[in-house]
Amino acid sequence: MSAAPSIGKKTVRDVEVAGKRVLLRADLNVPLADGAVADDTRIRESLPTMRYLLDHGALPVVCSHLGRPKGRDESLSLAPVAGRLGNLLDREVLFAGDCVGAPAEEAIRAAAPGQTVLLENLRFHPGEEANDPAFARALASLADLYVDDAFGAAHRAHASTEGVTHYLPAVAGFLMEKEVRYLQTLVTDPPRPFAAVIGGAKVSTKIAAIEHLLPKLDLLLLGGGMANTFLVATGVDVRMSLVEREQVDVARRILDRARGRVDVLLPVDVVSADRFAADASTETTPVTAVPPGYMILDIGPTTVAAYTRALQRAQAVVWNGPMGVFELEPFAAGSAGIARAIAALDATTVVGGGETAQVVASLGLAPRLTHVSTGGGASLEMLEGRQLPGVAALMDA
């Protein structure tokens, strides 16, 4: 992958921030347990941009959503995040009891140099998801400059991701820049041979990404529930397994398009079960010998070995979607095996967000990969070749 290609948008490096109030859209949508942050990965990913602003004399006014509240919901307050953020920054973080109006304005006025302000959950206001201009203007009035570092929300045209850019100069933060750079390079000019490992439950959610990537791919490895639909398209009886019958013709069309140009690998053996449960009766068999009444819930060890061998020749790999129901221990080995295979490569390795990132994190493999995306939906839309509203709205370089 070429060194630091431009993403075509201005970044926080390209503007003067000293003495300015900077509205920083971060993705602090972290899991909470017993009123505390249970996993601070997303907070840590946001730190480089916050530290840059602090080191260059700006006042970061951080905003984020958390969960899907319907109006104000104290169980989804960002207050616990303020405490964790302060610990990680080793600086005081003032928490504003609302993201607009007097509570936000007073917290910003009270902030001393070197401090950070965190605003309350944006989604406590319906104007956030509705991209209401009045709400966007109220947010923008708190600052002199806008920095978007929330790649995980960039595929949504919300007030804090798109609306505010109509009222403030808008640039990308370092995490946004990194995410867009890696994914943009893979979908436009990947190192070759280029492999995609695509899994997850449903073909319908991945069709657009597969079809967009196909002309650039040398290798396509399929797993997860979606592989069942492809197996049916090749004439395999997958018994009681999840299949999207209305997508079988689409799967057949993709296999036809790939023939002679892209090596497509489907599972040759699988782990199946008599029911969807951790204590189910399981069988590991060739894909053509799934017992009657059983459903496929993971790829088998022979498939993991075959996929591992195939990946050896790749110079770039993108992985989106687990190989099985990894949340249940009997069906986690396939995803773990593929994660280890990709982590061992001397190649550009990019993992799409969501469940795939969970697999990698649970195994401690993230440091051995080139990039693990923080945005599930946003990374998938980039693989589909779509322009993200939150990126499009930023100032051109």
Q: Could you tell me which residues are beta bridge partners of residue 350? A: 318, 371
Q: Is 293 a catalytic residue?
A: no
Mean pLDDT of all residues in 173-198? 95
Q: Which of 9, 10, 20, 42 is catalytic?
A: 42
Phi, psi (degrees; rounded to nearest 5) at 209 = -65, -45
Q: Which of 51, 377, 385, 386 is catalytic?
A: 377
How far is Cα of residue 324 from the mean position of the Cα atoms in its chain? 18
CB 104 within 8 A of CB 119: yes
What pLDDT digit, counting tens, does each position of 200-255 carry?
Answer: 999 999 999 999 999 999 999 999 999 999 999 999 999 999 999 999 999 999 99
Phi, psi (degrees; rounded to nearest 5) at 235 = 95, 10
CB 99 within 8 A of CB 120: yes
What pLDDT digit, counting tens, does each position of 245-299 carry?
Answer: 999 999 999 999 999 999 999 999 999 999 999 999 999 999 999 999 999 999 9
Considering the chain, what is the average pLDDT of its residues?
Answer: 96
Residues 6+ positions from 81 with CB-CB distance below 8 Å: 28, 30, 37, 43, 64, 66, 118
Q: Does domain 183-383 have CATH number 3.40.50.1260?
A: yes
Q: Is 202 a catalytic residue?
A: yes
CA distance 78 to 261: 50
Q: What is the dihedral of CA 44, 46, 50, 52, to 10 degrees?
A: 90
CB 36 within 8 A of CB 78: no
CA distance 253 to 233: 9
Structural domain boundaries in the chain: 12-175, 183-383
Both tokens of residue 201?
Answer: 């439950």
Q: Has residue 327 got a pLDDT over 80?
A: yes
Q: Is 225 a catalytic residue?
A: no
Q: Has residue 5 got a pLDDT over 90?
A: no
Q: Which of 354, 375, 376, 390 is catalytic?
A: 354
Please determine whether the domains at 12-175 and 183-383 fall in the same fold group of CATH. yes
Q: Has residue 353 got a pLDDT over 90?
A: no
How many CA atoms lie within 13 Å of 281's alpha carbon, on the beta-carbon side? 6
Q: Has residue 1 got a pLDDT over 50?
A: no
What pLDDT digit, counting tens, does each position of 18-67 carry?
Answer: 999 999 999 999 999 999 999 898 999 999 999 999 999 999 999 999 99
Phi-psi region of 270 (alpha: psi -120 to 50; beta: other; left: phi over 0): beta
CA distance 294 to 213: 33
CA distance 143 to 104: 11
Q: Has residue 3 got a pLDDT over 80?
A: no
Return the CATH fold of 12-175.
Answer: Rossmann fold (3.40.50)
Q: Which of 202, 252, 257, 313 is catalytic?
A: 202
